A = this chain, B = another copy of it.
Amino acid sequence: MRVSIGDVARRAGVSISTVSRVINRRELVNAETRQRVDQAIAELGYRPNMFARGLMLRKSDMLGLALPDVHGEFYSEVIRGANAKARELGYHLVISSTNGPEDAQTLLEDLLRRSIVDGMAIMVSEQPGGRPWEQIETRLPLVLLDGAVEDGEHDSVVIDQRAGAQALMRHLIRRCGMKRILFMGGLTTNVDTMARRQVYEEVMRAADLPVSPEDVYHLDFQYETAYAFARDRVKGWAGSRHCVFAANDEMACAVIDAATEARVRVPQDLAVVGFDDTRIARMTRPPLTTVRVPMSTMGATAIELLCKRLADPDQPPTHVSLTPQLMVRESCGAAQQAGAKPAPGDTHVA
């Protein structure tokens, strides 16, 4: 049978209360007694039962992190950041992801209902699920992550999609002199896609450039889909000062590959830019101009906010906005800086 606090007490010849005190508030107990208890704990290999403890303390030191889909580098970076921060602050992380948008509700429900977390960070990037967390009445501290549109009521950390997309679009138009830009996004239900598309249209209009419906495509963020799609069309897209703005790096790579395949030169005949700055962005030839999204920072910040709220539940909600960074490489055709030829992967940070 597992050894409990009572066993320790007996062995040390003290009361349960004293053992508890040794564990939680050492300073309150006499040095000599304390040592006896410590020894008993060591000898018995005693480990406090976290259920009992949680029952009293009403906390578990565990935080939840719900993601749309753990697939891909994006989410793994979020996890990494969150995990590091959680450990730093003495918490553990319960991670879960939905198997598709319609599942979000179920997951959240389940996680909130069954699991033992002190607070929870939620990222929902597909619209149709709506705002699952609202359905569930709970007093559990919640932090909303990018995608889950901020509702004012909860803490949130978002990526400033607009700023990133704007920087990119302006670079394309002002610095690279693009005249025609095509937009290739994920599904229209994806909030990131829609945010980027909106900025795309705004900046195009502001620059008096045409934004025709047939220059806007919605695929599914996958390389394969985008490649198959671009393969047939890339020749038609080519032209001086023409560019494809893909809403993620995977699709941008696919376009580059399709172009290369079709002997459409990138960036001379067709510039291509992506979004996210995942690992592959530096692997393409030419290297991909894209927007770096501070993914791990996002995870870390979420955990930080969660802990702050745990410490002080009544403070007004904090909203953190993380600004992405334009990474100018070669696929956009920006004039290369003077000087030595950069090594592969070199990047000019704008």
Interface, chain A (partner B; CB < 8 A): 2, 45, 47, 49-52, 54-55, 58, 60-62, 70-73, 75-76, 79-80, 83-84, 87, 92-97, 99, 107, 111-116, 137, 139, 223-224, 227, 231, 253, 257, 260-261, 279-280, 283-285, 343-345
Contact = CB atoms under 8 A, between A and B. Distances in A.
Nearest to A139: B2
A95 to B, nearest CB: 5
A265 to B, nearest CB: 15
Contacts of A55: 49, 51-52, 55
Contact of A76 (B47, B79, B343): B79
A49 B60 CA distance: 12
Copies of this protein, total: 2
20 contacts: A50-B115, A51-B52, A51-B55, A51-B58, A51-B60, A62-B94, A70-B79, A70-B83, A71-B80, A72-B76, A76-B76, A80-B97, A83-B97, A92-B96, A92-B115, A93-B94, A260-B344, A261-B343, A280-B280, A283-B283
A116 B51 contact: yes
Given A93-B95, A94-B95, 8 more contacts: A51-B58, A62-B115, A62-B116, A71-B80, A87-B107, A92-B94, A231-B343, A257-B345
Contacts of A76: 70, 72-73, 75-76, 79
Contacts of A2: 139
A261 B344 CA distance: 8
Contacts of A283: 253, 280, 283-284
Contacts of A284: 283
